[in-house]
Amino acid sequence: MPTPAAATAFPNLFSPITIGGVTVRNRILSSGHDTVMAVGGLVTDRLIAYQEARARGGAGLIVIQVAGVHPTARYTSHELTADTDATTPGYTALAAAIHRHGAKVFGQLFHGGREIMDTEDGTLAVAWAPSAVPTERFHVIPRAMTESLVREILDGFGASARRLEVAGLDGVEVVASHGYLPSQFLNPRTNRRADGWGGDEARRLRFLREALAACRATTRPGFVVGLRISVGEESPDGLTEEEALAALRTLDGENAFDYVSVVRGTSATLAGSDHIVPPAPIAAGYTAPRAAGVRAAVRVPVLVAGRITQPQDAELILAAGSADMCVMTRALICDPELPAKAAEGRLDDIRACIGCNQACIGHFHANYPISCVQFPEAGREREFPRHGEPGRAKHAPADTPRDVLVIGGGPAGLKAAAVAAERGHRVTLVEADRRVGGQVRLAQLLPGRHEIGGAITNLEAEARRAGVAIVTGVRADAAYVRASGAQAVVVATGATPYTPPMEVVGSPRIVQAWDAIRDASAVPQGRVVVADFRSDWLGLGVATLLAGRGCQVTLAVTGNMAGQRCQQYVRDQMTAAARRAHVTILPTTRLFGADESAVYLQDVLTEEAVVIEDAVALVLAQGHVPADALLLELEADAARDGSYAVLAAGDVQSPRTMEEAVLEGLRAGVAV
C-alpha cells in the first residue's frame, strides 16, 4: 500500500493498475533487459537474486529478459530460453521469489530474426528473417525463412507462453521492438515476400497477429499477453511511427493484446540502436509523446520507456495521460529501492541513474553480467547481500566497530567510507581539495556529460547519511594518520595525468586535458591537437569542448576509433557531437613530439609520420599514473608495528574508470 507521502506527491505513480487479469500494485516497471546471468539458456540463482532485489525494493511489475522461443532465436550466447521443458523449474523459482515481495512478473518471448550478435563457440550462425535483407550494425545477411520454419517459430511462441504460465508467471510480452523478427515481418523494407506472409499490409501483419494468437490459445483466460514495439525505429529502413500505429490499431481492434509497451529505435543500425538504452544527454522521458499517440489509438494500458530515471518524471508522464506505466529499468538497477524510498517521500535518498551505460548495457555488450557504476552491489546480490526493510537495507554490520580513516574523496573513497560507516565503523574521510569528487568533477564539465556529476552527489550523500565525517582542504600524511588513531586506513588518493616521453623542440604550448577543461584560457584559439592515448571519453570530450570554444581541433587517437573504450551508445553520441563540431579524427595515431608550430604524430600500424602544421597547442589525454606516494609510505609505516591496517581502492592502485573505483571502494568498506 502507498504511504501518505506517496499518495500526496505521487498519486498516479503509486496507484494500482489492472492489466488483463492481473492487478499491479503501482506504475513502476522494470522492463526486460539481458543480464548475462543465464547459463545454458536457464535461469540461475544469480538471476533470481538480482530480480528479487528489485521486487523487494517495491517495483510493481518485473518483465524478465528475452527468452528464445525456438533454436533459431539464439541471438547471443547468454540468452535465456523458454523453448524446452527444462527451462520451467528455473522460471518457477524466479516467479516465486518475485511474488514473495508483492510484485508481478511477465516473461518476454523473443526471436531476433536477422539480429544476431554472437554464439557460444564464436562461429557465425545462420540468421533467418522474412527476406534476405542485410542488417547494417552486425553486417549479417540473413536467409529467407521457409513457410515451415515460420510455422515452427509461431508454435514456439505458443509453447513458450504455456511453459511460463505453468511456471507461475503472470503474463508474457511478445517482443516486436527494435527491429526484431515480428518487426521485420511488419516492415515493408525488410519483408519483401510475395507469399502469405508479405506483399501487402495485412499479410505483413500476419506473423505478429499469429504470434499473439498463439500465446492466447495456449494459456488460460486472464493470463496477460502484451506487446512491446518501437513506435519509430529511428533508422532509414526502419519501421516508422505511422506503420507501428497502424498495426496497433488493427490488433487492438481484434483484442490481440492486453497492453502495449512503447519504445523507440532498432538493433539494425548504429544510430537506431542508441535508442535501445538511450544514454545521457538524451532527454528524460523523451518517448512519452510517442506513447501518448499510442494511448490515443488503443484501448489497453500503455507502458513507456526512455530515460525515465526519477519518480518525479514518471509522475508527470502519468499525470499528463501520456502512459499508464513507466519503465524505470536503469533507475532500478542503480537503486533497487527507488520505489520504497519514493513511497516514503525520501527523494533525496534515491541514487539517480546518470545514463553512463558503462556497467549495465556496457557489460552486456562485453558478455559480462550487468551491474552499475554507482551501485556495484547490483548484479552481485549474492556476494554483497543487504539486509533490512525495503528502502533502508544495509550491508551486514561489522563484528567489531573500528576507527577508520579514508584518504581521498573521489568515487572510491566515498564508497569505501559510506559502506564502512553503514556497517557501524566510526569513519572520517579526508580530502586534500576543498570539494570531494576527484576526476568526476572534471568529467561533468564536458559537453553532454553534466549528469555524470550526479555520481558524486549520490556517493557523498550516502556517506553523510551513514555518518561519515568529511574533512576537506587537508592533505593527510603519515603523521596525520598516526595522530588520528585510526585502526584501519583506506587510501584512495587517485591518479595524476601522465606526460609521455616525446621529442620537444623549443617551447610549444603543451597542456594537460585536465587543465584544458578547468581553464578556458589554457588553450588559445587556433589549430589544436588532442593526443588521446586511451581512446575513451576524455579525448572525445575535451576535443568537442575545445571546438565549442572556437578551436580547430584534430583528435589523434591510438585506437581504431575515437571513444573505442566507451560503451557503443555513449561513443555514438559523443562521436556525433564531435563531428557536428567539425573535429577532425585521426585513428591509429600516436604522439611523437611537438615544436612551436607543429605537432608530430606516427601511424601505429605503418610508423609513417603524420604532421599537423600551424598548431598553436598540444593537449595531452595520455592516461594517468597512480598518486601512490602516501600509500607506499603508509604501507611501510604500518608494517613496522602493525598499529593499523592499510587498504587501497581505485586509481591509486592502477588508473582505470569510475566503475573499478566504486567497486574497490565497496570491497574495502566490506573488508575493514
Q: Which residues are catalytic, by number?
A: 180
Determine if the peptide bond prior to 221 is cis (ω within 30°). Answer: no
What own/partner pairs with CB < 8 Å and gap ≥ 24 does 479-486 have?
480/430, 481/405, 481/407, 481/634, 481/637, 481/644, 482/637, 482/643, 484/403, 484/405, 484/428, 485/403, 486/403, 486/404, 486/405, 486/428, 486/644
Tell me if 29 sits within 8 A of 63, measured CB to CB. yes
Strand 552-557 and strand 645-648: pairing? unpaired
Alpha-carbon Rg for the chain in angstroms? 27
- Judged by DSSP in three states, 467 sits in coil
Name which of 500, 497, 513 is nearest 591 in CA terms. Answer: 500
Tell whether the torsion through CA atoms of 189, 190, 194 and 198 is positive or negative: negative
**Residue position matching grid coordinates 511460463:** 164
**Residue position matching grid coordinates 561519515:** 468
**Alpha-carbon gap, residue 283 to 163, rounded angstroms:** 38
Name which of 549, 542, 551 is nearest 574 in CA terms. Answer: 542
Tell whether the torsion through CA atoms of 275, 37, 160 and 260 is positive or negative: negative
The values of phi and psi at residue 521, to 5°, are: -90, -5
Alpha helices per DSSP H over 361-452:
361-365, 411-422, 440-443
